[in-house]
Amino acid sequence: MVRVDGTGTGALVEIRNLDKKYHRGGEEIDVLRGLNLDVEKGEFIAFMGPSGSGKTTLLNLIGGLDTPTAGTVRIAGDTISALSGRRLAAWRARHIGFIFQMYNLIPVLTAFQNVQLPLLLTGLSKAERRAHVEAALALVGLSDRIHHYPRQLSGGQEQRVAIARAIVADPTILLCDEPTGDLDRAAGDEILDIISRLSKEFKKTIFLVTHDPVAAKRSGTLLHLDKGTLLECTAEGPLACKPEDRGQ
């Protein structure tokens, strides 16, 4: 279940009265204002909204890459908005997998080496790391590209390597920021198939930011973010999310 009214309890993700402000010169910019969100384990949520509406900012707050101006972010029993330094880094390594529009692969490393990176700071043995990496690459259909470098892969294959890297440590949550934005329709659909499988078969909790209605329709819940306000869509596309349609 997903709630945006702040009345839920015991959810995997609990966000309360979340504000985020930035200062640019002498100007104060409100990006998120009093946002509430409850998400149960295994939900697949898509966020849509105009550029600058705060979608990526919200992902960064959920992932512990940024801190709120006010309010709390509580995930898997931890109030991450109160964590910092090594404790936050350790929490993030244990719970969060990131998938970005740009694949952020290291060009001088093979697919295997890129995927292995998150495991190097764990206590896993070399054999255990190899088993994890091979399983992750098999899941995204790249067992035959394990020793290829990024320059030897297509864009869709590079993004699949990035997904394997995101899931190799078995995170609680996957944060996907425009993961198909740099791909053609066919390659993008392959990526969405993998993300959907991670949701349905492996019960991963997934947050997807996208401008693509086709990608958004693959989610279980579509939320619209505009002017710092989060609304749940009840029909096809973000036009169903106008505040007047919900009595706001």
pLDDT tens figures, 89-146: 999 999 999 999 999 999 999 999 999 999 998 889 999 999 999 999 999 999 999 9
CATH topology for the 41-67+86-236 domain: Rossmann fold (3.40.50)
Q: Please write the tens of the pLDDT for every residue from 83-93.
A: 988 899 999 99
Q: Please write the tens of the pLDDT for every residue from 146-200.
A: 999 999 999 999 999 999 999 999 999 999 999 999 999 999 999 999 999 999 9
pLDDT at 7: 80
Token readout for 203 is 């019960």
- Residues with Cβ within 8 Å of 138's Cβ and at least 6 positions away in sequence, in order, are none
Contact at 8 Å (CB) between 54 and 28? no
The model carries a pTM of 0.89
Handedness of CA 196, 200, 202, 205 (dihedral sign): positive
Q: What is the rounded average pLDDT of the residues 216-239? A: 77
Contact at 8 Å (CB) between 64 and 15? no
Question: What single-letter amino acid sits at 78?
Answer: D
Token readout for 8 is 């839920």
pLDDT exceeds cutoff 70 at 70: yes
- Distance separating alpha carbons of residues 130 and 113, to the nearest angstrom: 10
